[in-house]
Amino acid sequence: MPGAIHAEGLVKTFGEVRALDGVDLDVPEGTVLGLLGPNGAGKTTTVRCLTTLLRPDSGKAVVAGIDVLKNPDAVRRSIGLSGQFAAVDEYLTGRENLQMVGQLYQMRAKAAKARAEELLEQFDLTDAADRPTKTYSGGMRRRLDLAAALVVSPPVMFMDEPTTGLDPRNRQLLWDVIKRLVSGGTTLLLTTQYLEEADHLAHDIVVVDHGHVIAQGTSDQLKARTGGERVEVVVHEREHIRTASEVLRGFGKGETTVEEHMRKLTVPVTGGAKLLAEVIRELDTRGIEIDDIGLRRPTLDDVFLSLTGHVAEARDNDTEKEAAK
């Protein structure tokens, strides 16, 4: 499998810390794997092991058909990497940084120039192209770092938190770039703190915690594991809570929870939109006015919380708003 990523039993310790405690993962060629986990779970360490930047204590890894431990140089030539912390030369301009990467990959000067131009445009950096990157904001650096990873189009890409600190517009822009890349056949392993991003981009998701894989599957599979759908109702009058609760009991597949102060009732159901319509009719027949009603499915955030006991939270140390240094 020339474009696939395969890891088996990766272990990496730093003194007392067992950062990876036997990580297995498989990314079929041309697909996107979302690697999720709370801070310190081992995501960056996994990426560093797979990209030859760290040597695991034990385990094996094959990237793009090449044994990572036996042949790191060949692996390096077949992959692109964008790290959690942008690695750009502060004193070069954005354009120079991109051209330099092209030259490192032995592109002809003219081709490197053209590719740099294309990427500056794609990442909305044309206006800032001739400024030294030390004047860039955090979000601009991140975009430049991603552009640099894409100067050559390697069959396998690794992106460690590619959109942390990007504003919504630039996040969308990057998602589009990623989708185009993957539709062109690239295999991608990406870590992210934004579960919506994994939901949106990843074919498969692996959740790690304390250096272990604790869950894996498609977003839908993980959501199904966390529990099914619920009907949520907000009644207009507090006095109607009891009657509404009786109505919901008739439709529910479990206990109804009531948040008195919010006038909100929640009950697990099966039956989807059709059932929702029936609930609405019944509430109406009983003369219960509602402010809001909806069918809620578990989100990937719910999954993450139930698996790890943490709410996923992106760090804010590298934001678009950060003043130019």
Binding site for ligand ATP (CB under 6 A): 14, 17, 19, 37, 39-45, 84
State the distance between the two ends of the chain, measured CA to CA, in whole angstroms. 44
In the chain, count H helices and then E strands.
11, 14
**What is the nearest approach in angstroms of ligand ATP to the Cβ of residue 37?**
5
Query: At its nearest, how many Å lie between ligand ATP and the CB of residue 289?
Result: 46
Interior angle at CA 256, CA 253 and CA 257, nearest 5: 140
Determine, following the binding rule CB under 5 A, whether residue 193 of this chain makes contact with Mg ion. Answer: no
Token pair for residue 202?
Answer: 């990843």
Smaller CB separation from ligand ATP, 1 or 314: 314
Alpha-carbon distance of 192 to 179, in angstroms, equals 16
> Binds 17, which of Mg ion, ligand ATP, none (CB < 5 to 8 A, cut-off by type)?
ligand ATP
- Choose the one of ligand ATP, Mg ion, none that binds residue 42, judging by a C-beta under 5 to 8 angstroms depending on kind: ligand ATP
d(CA 201, CA 205): 10
Rounded Cα distance, 119 and 147, in Å: 6
Give whichever of 40 and 185 is closer to ligand ATP, judged by the CB atom.
40
45 binds, among ligand ATP, Mg ion, none (CB under 5 to 8 A by kind): ligand ATP
Q: Nearer Cβ to ligand ATP, position 84 or 97?
A: 84
Cβ–Cβ < 8 Å for 113, 151:
no
Please say which residue, 208 or 265, places its beta carbon nearer to ligand ATP. 208
Smallest distance, ligand ATP to C-beta of residue 208, A? 7
Work out what residue 154 binds among Mg ion, ligand ATP, none; the CB cut-off runs from 5 to 8 Å by kind.
Answer: none
39 or 153: CB nearest ligand ATP? 39
Does residue 97 belong to the site contacting Mg ion (CB under 5 A)?
no
Does residue 125 contact residue 320 with C-beta atoms inside 8 Å?
no
| Long-range contact set of residues 200-204: C-beta below 8 Å, sequence gap at least 24 | 200/175, 201/32, 201/34, 201/175, 202/32, 202/33, 202/34, 203/31, 203/32, 203/33, 204/27, 204/31, 204/32, 204/33, 204/34
In the complex with ligand ATP, the residue whose CB is nearer, 44 or 93, is 44
Q: Which does 40 bind (CB under 5 to 8 A by kind): ligand ATP, Mg ion, none?
A: ligand ATP
Binding residues for Mg ion restricted to 64-93, rule: CB under 5 A: 84
Whole-angstrom distance, CA of residue 234 vs CA of residue 65? 55
Give CA–CA dist 213/238, Å, rounded. 45
Shortest distance, position 85 Cβ to Mg ion, whole Å: 9
Q: How far is the CB of 43 from Mg ion (least distance, A)?
A: 5
Does 44 sit near Mg ion (CB under 5 A)? yes
Partner touching 279 among ligand ATP, Mg ion, none, CB below 5 to 8 Å by kind? none
Nearest residue (CB) to ligand ATP, 45 versus 99:
45
Q: How far apart are CA 159 and CA 145, in angstroms?
A: 10
How, if at all, do strands 264-268 and 230-235 pair?
A: antiparallel
For the CB of residue 18, give the shortest distance to ligand ATP in the complex, in Å. 8
Question: Which residues would be at the binding site for Mg ion (CB under 5 A)?
Answer: 43-44, 84
